[in-house]
């Protein structure tokens, strides 16, 4: 158990920002402390340079930011905006790679409190063909890298053919995931096995962000343009929503009203399997599995779009590792001399870690959870919703610790100071 003795914000945190769960009295809250740099750093820059500049500001999923920015700029210039085949392949590969990095590098640290990654585990990750080379080269011939990557995934992640794993998931969902992680000895299976009870115990309402052209999108853009800071607390059709691999566009017609953290974590593995499959997968013949249920695979998993808004403004979005990424841009001038008048980026972390969003609702306001359970759930919540910046907990005395320092399987959280979230002695909960 780690005591909270790191009150100062690191220099890295100051640059990248962080999300913080404050245990302050009288009302605990969740805040997004990511600095608003995009608009200030891009205003007046050449529009042609914006995609490269924005991708440099966001080191995680940099190519997704680059192609989304490029789509938004083209939409602002009144051009038809759609991903090229090579950009779609790069987005597919980057999303797959990002899923693997989180499973290998973040999940052991967050879910088990591991301070370092063993060398042999790093070597196994580095042996994945999809991680061997720059995206620009791999995306030129995606099948040449995806074919051996499928074999790697079947050995190191799923322990069985991808189509078999996906078929079980599509048929039985959470039950199939539980059965799989207990009969498989890969690293992701072992990590999920450790947190199964906690992740299955939490069923949480699902209000999904599925971006489509219409009034909700135009309302969001209007608020991004007129309300400073709205990109950090976005609302869709007036309310906070969540995004993630489980909210893909192809899932729109079958998303449930409520699902567990366990299902959300399983959906990330299903996303990984779909991304690695050929564009037209050959799932095993099954009377109970229609083409609709089977869904898309390969580069067709990730959807994107763009809309010209008039007055040299445009908005674009793509689905990527953590959910849906959205860029809005307004330009001065036309053609090669156009410059950036304003630019805003809304990343998945802004939706999921909104002060009234899904993580805040779960950790602070779910009446079904006792206080110590909320704190013990922090690592599982962090792994499931996967913020792109550090996630920390601040006690009432101002001391801070990473959410990962609360072991996912710990029955008690003894270092949190008594406050509006009760300490273990005050809690009537026994789980």
- Binding-site positions for Mg(2+) read 345
Query: Sign of the CA dihedral 168, 174, 180, 185?
Result: positive
60's tokens: 């995680």
DSSP string across 9-30: PPHHHHHH--EEEE--SS--EE
Sheet hosting strand 391-394, strand order edge to edge:
29-32, 19-22, 391-394, 400-402
Q: What are the residue ranges of helices labelled H in 127-208?
A: 135-138, 142-153, 162-172, 174-183, 187-201
Quote helix, strand, coil % in the chain, to nearest 5. 50, 15, 35
Contact 110, 379 (CB under 8 A): yes
Q: CA 60 to CA 297: how far, in whole Å? A: 23
CA 402 centroid distance within chain: 18
- Residues flagged as binding site for Ni(2+): 388
Pairing mode, strands 391-394 and 19-22:
parallel
Give SS3 for 290: coil
Helices 261-276 and 142-153, axial angle in degrees (round to 10): 130
- Residues flagged as binding site: 345, 388
């Amino acid at each position: 158990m780690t005591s909270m003795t790191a009150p100062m914000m690191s220099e890295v945190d100051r640059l990248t920002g962080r999300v913080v769960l404050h245990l302050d009295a009288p009302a605990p809250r969740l805040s997004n402390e990511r600095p608003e740099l995009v608009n200030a750093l891009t205003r007046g820059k050449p529009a042609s340079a914006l995609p490269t500049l924005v991708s440099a500001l966001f080191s995680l999923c940099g190519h997704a930011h680059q192609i989304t920015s490029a789509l938004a700029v083209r939409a602002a210039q009144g051009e038809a905006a759609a991903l090229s085949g090579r950009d779609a392949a790069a987005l597919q590969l980057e999303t797959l790679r990002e899923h693997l990095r989180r499973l290998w590098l973040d999940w052991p640290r967050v879910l088990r409190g591991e301070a370092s990654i063993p060398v042999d585990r790093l070597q196994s990750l580095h042996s994945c063909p999809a991680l061997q080379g720059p995206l620009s080269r791999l995306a030129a011939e995606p099948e040449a890298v995806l074919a051996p990557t499928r074999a790697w995934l079947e050995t190191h992640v799923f322990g069985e053919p991808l189509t078999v794993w996906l078929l079980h998931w599509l048929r039985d969902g959470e039950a199939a995931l539980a059965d799989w992680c207990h009969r498989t000895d890969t690293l992701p299976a072992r990590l999920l096995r450790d947190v199964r009870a906690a992740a299955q115990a939490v069923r949480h309402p699902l209000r999904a962000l599925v971006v489509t052209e219409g009034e909700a999108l135009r309302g969001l853009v209007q608020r991004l343009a007129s309300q400073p800071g709205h990109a950090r607390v976005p609302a869709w059709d007036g309310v906070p929503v969540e995004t993630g691999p489980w909210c893909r566009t192809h899932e729109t017609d079958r998303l449930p009203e409520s699902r567990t953290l366990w299902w959300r974590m399983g959906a990330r593995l299903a996303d990984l399997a779909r991304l690695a499959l050929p564009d037209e997968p050959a799932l095993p013949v099954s009377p109970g599995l229609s083409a609709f249920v089977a869904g898309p695979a390969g580069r067709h998993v990730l959807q994107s779009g763009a809309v010209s808004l008039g007055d040299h403004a445009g908005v674009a979005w793509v689905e990527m590792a953590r959910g849906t990424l959205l860029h809005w841009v307004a330009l001065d001038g036309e053609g090669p001399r156009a410059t950036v008048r304003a630019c805003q980026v809304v990343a998945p972390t802004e939706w999921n870690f909104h002060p009234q969003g899904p993580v805040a609702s779960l950790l602070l306001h779910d009446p079904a959870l006792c206080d110590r359970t909320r704190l013990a759930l922090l690592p599982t919540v962090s792994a499931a919703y996967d913020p792109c910046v550090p996630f920390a907990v601040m006690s009432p005395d101002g001391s801070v610790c990473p959410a990962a320092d609360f072991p996912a399987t710990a029955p008690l959280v003894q270092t949190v100071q008594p406050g509006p979230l009760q300490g273990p002695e005050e809690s009537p909960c026994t789980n």
